[in-house]
Amino acid sequence: MLNEKVSALLNNQINKELYSAYLYLDFSNYYQEIGLDGYANWYLVQAQEERDHALLMMQYLQNNGEKVTLEAIAKPDKVLDDKLTVLKLGLEHECYVTSLIHTIYDAAYSVRDFRTMQFLDWFVKEQGEEEKNAEDLIKKMELFGDDAKGLYMLNSEMGARVYSAPSLVL
């Protein structure tokens, strides 16, 4: 059994990860609509990763005898009206998720829950990578996105991203 607060925060995080998946599906749809199918692919893969994060948390709770409670997933509420702004919203969202992961880590640390801390280590690292990815997307769009050929190349690069299952095995 886990500490009540740690368990509640992990349950809540399942919802946040599923919301992230939902948000990135919205991003994917936006890019599809404006004809940037590579970016649509990139965020579709990202949505799959977010779903995996939720499933990992669910499995971790279950492995520790905890009840999983699924709540309603909020409607994506970001205004998507510009190819660069959407990328910035992505970075903003990842920074927010990082803060949530750190809050859970902090709760685990305060009750000396080393098992959960070790579980969360993967997520701490993953968030670092996701923030970096989001920053890189912004930088590239700022550098090359206003040029038609540059944008074409970027879109092709984003289209090459393929889904792979998470490296964390519970």
Would you tell me which residues interact with ligand FEO (CB under 6 A)? 17, 20, 50, 53, 94, 97, 130
Q: What's the closest the beta carbon of residue 48 comes to ligand FEO, in angstroms?
A: 11
Q: Closest-CB residue for ligand FEO?
A: 53
Q: What's the closest the beta carbon of residue 112 comes to ligand FEO, in angstroms?
A: 25
Q: What's the closest the beta carbon of residue 102 comes to ligand FEO, in angstroms?
A: 12
**Structure-token match 């492995």, residue found:** 63
Q: Which is nearer to ligand FEO, 116 or 151 (CB)?
A: 116
Find out whether 53 and 123 touch, Cβ atoms under 8 Å: yes
Q: Which is nearer to ligand FEO, 50 or 66 (CB)?
A: 50
Q: What's the closest the beta carbon of residue 17 comes to ligand FEO, in angstroms?
A: 5
Residues in the chain: 170
Which residue in 74, 92, 97, 78 sits closest to 30, CA to CA? 78
Q: Which is nearer to ligand FEO, 20 or 116 (CB)?
A: 20
Q: Which amino acid belongs to residue 111?
A: V
What's the first-to-final CA gap in the chain, in angstroms?
16
Find out whether 47 and 28 touch, Cβ atoms under 8 Å: yes
Find out whether 62 and 7 touch, Cβ atoms under 8 Å: no
